[in-house]
């Protein structure tokens, strides 16, 4: 399925306007400095499903659908998301993402950090094109939450003392905050009444929480070719996500995750034991139930909004998040 087919099937009434986001992203690459241009071209070449900018347009579609404001916000959010991945890859020392060489692998770490900084600044400039100080502040707060969530994750590497409540706080900052600013920002720019803005913020936050939970489930169940990374990659790097936390909570004795983290020899064997136990117990089903519950909360929030193709598209996006394979 091509990018255009994906957008058409997922994003309903705004699918044709997603090309405007692509055009603005393309314009972001057009800089005078040749090394920067090459790095931007590499970083922005991997086109995902653009769900976050689509959420901006869909939220704005309920009100005054002003693409001159909505497209810059959607593009800024996609730039921010991509910049955060660029920095994450440097922190993690990652060589590839989704089967492609990371920017830090093609160039070097120092240049890649500077590239991420440039992209953050570019995203901030784009947000100002909305003309909304409130939306600009939402964007800045989301960036702060994302950074806090990522810092917490890195600081907690190989720490079996963290609990599920900490995990929820972490992914709320790392992932859900950006989904929430997409829907809340789009709703604000669309001039929606306060109760509908809040409903769309709740929907975006809930969808983001479910999205990350499914990501963490797929880390143990996904097809390596589709995911572009080995099964159990997060655990290998010391990040304990929801399935692992549930395994630690429910099977505290003789736990293979603890053995893997403390092993001096045979670490790969211990890792495979942990992956196998996660797959063979109920923890993946419990994790998916939690993801479904967040989607349900988002769907309930949408009942505040009038029935329309746009609302039905948002409801279908929740189902897509739960059933996606990569």
Q: Find the CATH number of the domain harbouring 209.
A: 1.10.600.10
- Average pLDDT of the chain? 92
Check residue 201 and give its pLDDT.
Answer: 98
Pairing state between β 100-101 and 96-97: antiparallel
Of residues 95 and 200, more confidently modeled: 200
- Give Cα separations from 304 to 62, 65, 89, 191 (angstroms): 12, 19, 39, 15
Q: DSSP characters for 31-90?
A: -S-HHHHHHHHHHTTS----HHHHHHHHHHTTS---HHHHHHHHHHHHHHHHHHHHHHHH
Q: What is the pLDDT of residues 60-103, one digit of tens each?
A: 999 999 999 999 999 999 999 999 888 877 776 667 666 677 77
Number of domains in the chain: 1
Q: For the residues 259-265, what does the mean pLDDT come to?
A: 92
As a residue count, the chain comes to: 326
SS3 132: coil
- Whether 250 contacts 284, CB under 8 Å: no
Give the separation between CA 182 and CA 205, rounded to whole angstroms. Answer: 9
- CA-derived radius of gyration, the chain: 20
Give the separation between CA 23 and CA 44, rounded to whole angstroms. Answer: 12
Which single residue is written with the structure tokens 């070097």? Answer: 108
Write the secondary structure of 157-209 as one string of H (helix), E (strand) and C (coil): CCCCCCCHHHHHHHHHHHHHHHHHHHHHHHHHHCCCCHHHHHHHHHHHHHHHH
Check residue 185 and give its pLDDT.
Answer: 98
Closest CA to 210 of 304, 321, 100, 307: 321
Q: What is the pLDDT of residues 113-139, one digit of tens each?
A: 898 899 999 999 999 999 999 999 999
Q: For the residues 254-283, what does the mean pLDDT come to?
A: 95
DSSP-assigned beta bridge partners for residue 96? 101
Q: For the residues 45-58, what does the mean pLDDT come to?
A: 91
Sign of the CA dihedral with 89 first, then 92, 97, and 100 last = positive
Percentage with pLDDT > 90 across the chain: 76
- Whether 24 contacts 72, CB under 8 Å: yes
For 292-306, letters b (16+ CB in 10 Å) and e give bebbebbbebbebbe
Calculate ∠ Cα 119-120-124, nearest 5°. Answer: 115
Which range of residues forms the domain containing residue 165? Answer: 3-323
- Whether 85 contacts 97, CB under 8 Å: yes
Closest CA to 108 of 97, 95, 121, 98: 95
Q: Which of 155-164, 211-220, 222-231, 305-314 bottoms out in mean pLDDT, i.e. has the lowest?
A: 222-231
Q: For the residues 36-44, what does the mean pLDDT come to?
A: 89
Q: Which of 23-27, 159-163, 221-225 bottoms out in mean pLDDT, i.e. has the lowest?
A: 221-225
């Amino acid at each position: 399925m091509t990018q255009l087919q994906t957008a058409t099937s997922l994003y309903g009434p705004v699918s044709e306007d997603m090309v405007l986001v692509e055009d603005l992203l393309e314009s972001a690459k057009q800089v005078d400095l040749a090394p920067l241009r090459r790095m931007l071209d590499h970083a922005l070449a991997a086109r995902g499903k653009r769900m976050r900018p689509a959420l901006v347009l869909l939220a704005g579609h309920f009100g005054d659908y002003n693409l001159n404001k909505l497209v810059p916000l959607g593009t800024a959010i996609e730039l921010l998301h991509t910049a955060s991945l660029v920095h994450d890859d440097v922190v993690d020392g990652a060589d590839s993402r989704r089967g492609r060489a990371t920017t830090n692998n093609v160039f070097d770490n120092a240049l890649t950090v500077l590239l991420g900084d440039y992209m953050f600044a570019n995203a901030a400039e784009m947000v100002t094109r909305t003309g909304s100080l409130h939306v600009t502040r939402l964007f800045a707060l989301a960036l702060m939450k994302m950074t806090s969530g990522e810092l917490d994750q890195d600081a907690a590497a190989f720490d079996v003392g963290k609990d599920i409540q900490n995990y929820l706080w972490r992914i709320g900052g790392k992932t859900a905050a950006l989904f929430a600013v997409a829907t809340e920002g789009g709703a604000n720019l669309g001039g929606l009444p306060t109760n509908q803005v809040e409903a769309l913020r709740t929907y975006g936050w809930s969808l983001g929480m479910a999205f990350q939970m499914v990501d963490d489930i797929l880390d143990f169940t996904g097809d390596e070719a589709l995911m572009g990374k080995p099964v159990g990659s997060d655990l290998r790097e010391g990040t304990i996500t929801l399935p692992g936390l549930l395994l630690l909570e429910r099977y505290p004795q003789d736990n293979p995750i603890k053995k893997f983290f403390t092993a001096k020899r045979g670490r790969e064997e211990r890792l495979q034991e942990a992956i196998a136990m996660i797959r063979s117990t109920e923890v993946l089903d419990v994790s998916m139930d939690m993801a479904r519950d967040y989607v349900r909360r988002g769907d309930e929030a949408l009942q505040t909004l009038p029935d329309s193709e746009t609302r039905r598209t948002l409801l279908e996006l929740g189902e897509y998040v739960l059933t996606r394979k990569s």
